[in-house]
Amino acid sequence: MTRIQYQECIDACMKCMDACNYSYVSSLKEYDLAALRETIQLDRECADMCSFAIQAMTRQSPFVVEILRLCADICERCADASSRHEHIHCQKCIDACRSAAMACRLVSGAVEVYA
């Protein structure tokens, strides 16, 4: 795996971390805060995992495959939880999480891409 092959995944995880942290901060300002308990928690989980995965990719960790698989799982869980809410920041989170999950699966070899 070359650095160029990681770049898309790094970018996707970066956008996901950003969207999750934005949704986290935005949720804490919402009136119906109580309905968002689960997504607040998962937003932080997902942001922290993406941050960890980005560091792992840039330092060419020998464990990058396992780390990205775990990252994909957590991104998908965060997307599922966010999809139960109508807030714009939750909706943006879904897209970012799904894109990051797909990028992590591609790089970690769980998804074959045919030309």
Contact residues toward a copy of itself (CB under 8 A) are: 3, 10, 14, 17-18, 21-22, 24-25, 28-29, 33-34, 37, 40-42, 44-45, 47-49, 51-52, 54-55, 58-63, 66-67, 70, 73-74, 77
User: By C-beta, is 61 or 91 nearer to a copy of itself?
Assistant: 61
Q: How far is the CB of 86 from a copy of itself (least distance, A)?
A: 19
Checking 12-15 for CB contacts under 8 A at 24+ apart, the result is 12/96, 12/99, 12/100, 12/102, 12/103, 12/104, 13/50, 13/53, 13/54, 13/57, 13/71, 13/100, 13/103, 13/104, 14/50, 14/54, 15/96, 15/99, 15/100
